[in-house]
Amino acid sequence: MLKIISANVNGIRSAAQKGFIEYLARVDADVVCVQELKAQEADMKPEMRNPNGMHGVWHCAEKRGYSGVAIYSKQAPDNVQYGMGIEEFDREGRFVRADFGNLSVISLYLPSGTSAPERQELKYRFLDAFYPMLETMKMEGRDIVVCGDWNIAHQNIDLKNWKGNQKNSGFLPEEREWIGKVIRDLGWVDMWRKLYPEVPGYTWWSNRGQAYAKDVGWRIDYQMVTPHLAERALHAHIYKDEKFSDHAPLVVEYDYSL
């Protein structure tokens, strides 16, 4: 059994204060992918670097209190890739990959375009750069999971208010088409949607209004999986018993051994 969690914590220090480290101890995952660390390595306490004795690798943003991704694992990785090899994105700490035998796990934090038009342009540049990377990784013949906050809701089912968001970043036609091509043309499997075709599966809620209480959410956190591993997926859930951030952890279990 292989249990993988993806969680945007919106600040590892904040999430730790809300019980995230204790949650990881209880859930006993094999691999945990975290996004939006909002911390440098020096800012993190030992339990944030290596929660419950897990191995930790991270790619922090140059800017303090911003972005950053990490992978925690029971088993030490055989190899780690820090960043995409593209300075514009790597200085924002958006990609880290860990290899375990024939399995590769990636923690991804795709840019949001909501704050300004230039950030949406950067998001499009990221999509243009990341698509061929996904194509290359798919051709490696390895079992790969790309976990993270993709900041795109793919279909109408993936957000509550889809009619009112068709001109907003995260649900723009070009973004939706891009993620559709990742699935349709490249053959990556959206694990939640494959397992639960008719369950919305929201993972993020705006802090405005009563979005969380009324479950007016978006599904923008994914585990995108290569086909062989996707066939081994058993079940998944979104953990909402506690609230660590404006996102909820996505947990998928696979019939797979490291």
Q: Is 154 annotated as a binding residue?
A: no
**Full residue range of the structural domain in which residue 36 is found:** 2-254
Residue 149 labeled ligand binder:
yes
| Rounded Cα gap, residues 48 and 21, in angstroms | 7
Mark residue 19 as left, alpha or beta (left: phi above 0; alpha: psi -120 to 50; beta: remaining).
left
CA 208, distance to chain mean position in Å, is 22
pLDDT in tens, 75-99: 999 999 999 999 999 999 999 999 9
Helical packing angle, 117-138 and 173-184, nearest 10°: 10
Looking at residue 221, its pLDDT comes to 98
Query: What confidence category does residue 196 fall into, taking pLDDT thresholds of 50, 70 and 90?
Result: very high
Count of structural domains within the chain: 1
Are 107 and 33 in contact by the 8 Å Cβ rule? The answer is yes
CATH number assigned to the domain comprising residue 18: 3.60.10.10
pLDDT surpasses 90 at 216: yes
Give the per-residue pLDDT at 69.
98
Annotated binding-site residue? 79: no
Is the predicted pLDDT of residue 201 greater than 90, yes or no?
Answer: yes
Q: How many residues does the chain have?
A: 258
Top-confidence residue, 42 or 100: 100
Catalytic residues, which ones? 109, 149, 247
Share of the chain above pLDDT 70, in %: 100
Supply the pLDDT for residue 134.
98
